[in-house]
Chain A
Amino acid sequence: MKVINLHQEENEIIKLAVENNRHAQHMIYTKFAPKMLSVCRQYSKDLHHAEDVMITAFMKVFTNLKNFEHKGSFEGWIRRIMVNECISYIRAQKKVSFLEDEQYKESGFNGIESNFNVDEIQFLVDSLPDGYKMIFNLYAIEGYKHQEIAEMLGISEGTSKSQLSHARKMLQDNIIKLKKYQNGTE
């Protein structure tokens, strides 16, 4: 019953937000902004830039709220808007370029186990170039498939796979380096 009540409450808040009720909009913002800022932070090293992207994405959320069909989760809908805004922001900055390299080796994190905290994981992700980081985030964190990633970024599926392979290899090297550093300091 609680879930149903929460869902009904969310729908009512969304309806009010569609009617430009600022209080309802603020409620949505306060509920989802911390998670969405975390999403935006995955794609940008700078927290201020991430916040700018989040604000712009929230504007799009509120202006397109009447198009929300209440079929999926509201959080997932907002999250997709955030991810798309992050991608368009990085592309607008011309920070990313994908090499059409379809020759790749399937690489994983062979025998590597870690007990990193969130900041360390974010540090490892930030160490990746923008192209690798983008595809790694979309595939490993957001759960998109290569076909979807290829459509989103306007690249081939093979390029997406090769970019992910390179990202994993680089990330593995960085994990090893980090572990060595941590072991050395300890």
Chain B
Amino acid sequence: MEPNKIEEQFKELLNSRELQPSDKAWDRLDAMLSVAEEKKTKRSFGWLYIAASIIGFIFVGTLFFSQTEELIDVRRNDVVLQEKEEKSSEHIIQGQSGKDILPSIQSQGVAEVSNDNQKSKNQITKSEGIVHCNTCPSEKVIITRELRSNWRSNQKTNRNLNQINNEKIAEFKNETSIAHSEIPKTVESNKSLTDKESILKSDNNLLVSLDNTAKQLANKKATIKVDAKSLLSQVDGEVEYTFREKVFTKINKNYQEIKVALVNRNKE
């Protein structure tokens, strides 16, 4: 099966042959090549657009996430501030209600009040009934001092709070002035009580004790105390009353409707 002479002759002649292609052949090839190049360039531009869009998305995404983180931080700070405000406002409300006297700035003067004064005050409050002149417990004084230290650290943020607090203090002062005006009345009532017990005590002792109580009361800051339990019971009572009223009215209405319906039925 080896190639013989004729095959070698065929090979030589055919391999040495050259056939000139037509003139249009190169034009066709040129056109095909240019079309292929256009496709390549289009593809490259397409990839460029895709790459640019991906980079853009990444950039926008990073910006978005970074902004959200900042916002979260700001919100956290707001929450902290709000909590502080709430705390301070709670203390102010407590001071107004009279349950817990926490005059924040005036606490220094209140802290000087002794336990003996408390006893005398309790006596006076018993006689008067509604109006109470409570003292400041030492624990609350400490809390107010802590609050003061916190406010000093956040002076910039708590300027508004301080303004409000000043207003409250002014109100509180007015209240205390009213209380002071009432103090002589209480003293008189005490006097009447002491007169009844004058058989056992000497006049001088009584005068001294009265003077002491008057001085102590002058140093005190008094507020109007509202009994929360009594208020709650009143409100509950009102609510129950309104509920009862509603029930009764409903029952009456239904009864009237049934009555009318029965009368109509009987008439028919």
Contact = CB atoms under 8 A, between A and B. Distances in A.
Contacts of B18: 34-35, 37-38
B1 A140 contact: no
A165 B1 CA distance: 8
Interface string A7-38: 00000000000001010011001100111011
Given A47-B19, A59-B36, A106-B1, A140 B10 contact: yes
Contacts of B15: 38, 141
A184 interface: no
Nearest to A161: B1
B3 interface: yes
A97 interface: no
Nearest to A58: B29
A37 B25 CA distance: 11
Contacts of B11: 140-141, 143
Nearest to A56: B32
Give the contact-size bracket for chain A: 35 or more
A72 interface: no
Interface stretch (A81-89, A112-120, A147-155): A112-120
B196 interface: no
24 contacts: A20-B37, A22-B30, A26-B26, A26-B30, A30-B26, A34-B20, A37-B18, A38-B15, A38-B19, A51-B22, A54-B25, A55-B28, A58-B29, A59-B29, A59-B32, A106-B1, A109-B4, A109-B7, A116-B9, A121-B9, A121-B10, A141-B10, A161-B1, A175-B6
A114 B17 CA distance: 18
The interface residues of chain B, by DSSP majority, are classed as: helix
Given A114-B9, A141-B10, A141-B14, A108 B21 contact: no
A118 B13 contact: yes
A122 interface: yes
Given A22-B33, A34-B21, A59-B32, A109 B13 contact: no
Contacts of B156: none
A73 interface: no
B178 to A, nearest CB: 101
A134 interface: no
Contact of A34 (B9, B19, B36): B19
Interface in A129-182: 139-141, 143, 161, 164-165, 175
A54 B24 CA distance: 13
A107 to B, nearest CB: 9
Given A20-B33, A58-B29, A112-B6, A42 B13 contact: no
Contacts of B5: 109, 113
Contacts of B33: 20, 22, 25, 59, 62
Interface in A41-96: 41-42, 47, 50-51, 54-55, 58-59, 62-63
Nearest to B26: A29
Given A20-B33, A141-B14, 18 more contacts: A20-B37, A33-B21, A35-B17, A35-B18, A37-B20, A41-B19, A54-B25, A55-B25, A55-B28, A55-B29, A58-B29, A59-B29, A59-B36, A109-B5, A109-B7, A140-B10, A141-B15, A164-B1
Contacts of B10: 121, 125, 140-141
Contacts of B21: 33-34, 37, 51, 54
Nearest to A26: B26
Contacts of B16: 118
A58 B32 CA distance: 10
A49 to B, nearest CB: 13
A31 to B, nearest CB: 11
A89 B36 CA distance: 21
Contact of B3 (A30, A50, A59, A140): A140
Contacts of B19: 34, 37-38, 41, 47, 50
Q: Shortest 6 CB-CB distances between A and B: which pairs?
A: A34-B18, A140-B7, A37-B19, A38-B17, A109-B6, A118-B13
Contacts of A29: 26, 29
A143 B14 CA distance: 13
Contacts of A51: 21-22, 25
A113 to B, nearest CB: 7
